[in-house]
């Protein structure tokens, strides 16, 4: 099966939309196939502001209206406690919310951007999505991340080379309680590092200290800017030593 066939069989769908590479291409392809597709972006404390901006920008380019749902994800104790399977609870809550709204809007089928490269064996969130009968057309059609980037570039989507960006909660050490203040510190630090020209990195924290994980091709730059990076980290975290390692 290919995406043309998928959307011919399923011409009316709702999509959990993040503004990332995968969901962006899936939305584009659905529109190209003539499907009635409604994107939903659930805004929580786990997403940085630029992700919403990218999602809105992409939808405007494609010509669809993004529906934004504000949700207080930290009100759920099982999620705020940040256990090892936090992602399961989070995905279950978010996609249940999306599904309820989509059904009110007349959309019975929910899809997401999981692709054929994703290793679901280590993704508790995938279990929650499966339990809610969410379909993953990119995965079903065997499309890998590299293929999706190539097709996105050919389609003229600005997301084609966008780095993967997992939610802010993934930066925080397991069992460290999540709150808006801590997540805000991570977001502010990462934004400042982006402004210095770094990309596709992670600021990991246990709440007080922070470690920078960065791609191999940017390690030399990071080492040369060690003091500058340390000053950025110290604005939000109690670091005496900045640890930089390959991501």
Above 90 in pLDDT, residue 92?
A: yes
In this structure, the dihedral spanned by the alpha carbons of residues 123, 127, 129 and 132, taken in order and rounded to 10 degrees, is -170
Q: Does 153 share its domain with 208?
A: no
Does residue 173 form part of some domain? Answer: no
* Residue after which a domain boundary falls, among 161, 196, 227: 161
Beginning with the edge strand found earlier in the chain, give each strand of the sheet holding 12-16 in spatial order: 67-70, 36-43, 12-16, 110-111
Does residue 174 form part of some domain? Answer: no
Instruction: Tell me which residue range forms the domain holding 242.
Output: 179-246
- Mean pLDDT, all residues of the chain: 93
What is the reported pTM? 0.92
Above 90 in pLDDT, residue 75?
A: yes
Angstrom CA distances, 47 to 113, 137, 167, stand at: 17, 24, 6
User: Where is average pLDDT lowest: 37-46, 118-127, 156-165, 231-240?
Assistant: 118-127
Does residue 167 form part of some domain? Answer: no
Q: What average pLDDT score do residues 187-208 get? A: 93
Give bridge partners of residue 40 from the DSSP assignment: 16, 67
Q: Give 155-192 pLDDT, tens digit per residue.
A: 999 999 998 888 999 999 999 999 999 999 999 999 99
Q: Are 169 and 188 in contact (CB under 8 A)?
A: no
Q: Does 67 share its domain with 153?
A: yes
Q: Does 129 share its domain with 199?
A: no
Q: What average pLDDT score do residues 20-36 get? A: 97
Integer-rounded Cα Rg, in Å, for the chain is 19
Above 70 in pLDDT, residue 241?
A: no
Above 70 in pLDDT, residue 4?
A: yes
């Amino acid at each position: 099966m290919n995406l043309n066939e998928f959307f011919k069989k399923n011409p009316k769908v709702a999509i959990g939309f993040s503004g990332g590479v995968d969901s962006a291409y899936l939305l584009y392809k659905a529109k190209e196939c003539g499907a009635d597709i409604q994107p939903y972006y659930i805004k929580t404390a786990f997403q940085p502001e630029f992700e919403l901006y990218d999602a809105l920008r992409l939808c405007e380019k494609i010509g669809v209206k993004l529906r934004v749902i504000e949700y207080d994800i930290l009100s759920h104790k099982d999620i705020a406690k940040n256990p090892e399977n936090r992602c399961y609870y989070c995905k279950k809550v978010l996609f249940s919310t999306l599904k309820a709204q989509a059904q009110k809007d007349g959309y019975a089928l929910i899809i997401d951007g999981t692709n054929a490269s994703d290793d679901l064996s280590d993704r508790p969130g995938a279990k929650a999505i499966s339990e809610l009968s969410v379909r993953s057309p990119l995965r079903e059609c065997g499309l890998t991340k590299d293929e999706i980037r190539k097709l996105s570039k050919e389609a003229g989507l600005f997301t084609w080379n966008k780095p993967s960006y997992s939610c802010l909660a993934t930066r925080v050490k397991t069992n460290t309680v999540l709150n808006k203040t801590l997540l805000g510190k991570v977001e502010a630090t990462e934004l400042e590092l982006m402004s210095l020209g770094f990309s596709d990195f992670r600021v990991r924290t246990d709440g007080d200290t922070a470690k920078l994980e960065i791609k191999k091709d940017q390690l030399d730059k990071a080492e040369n800017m060690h003091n500058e990076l340390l000053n950025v980290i110290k604005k939000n975290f109690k670091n005496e030593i900045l640890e930089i390692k390959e991501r």
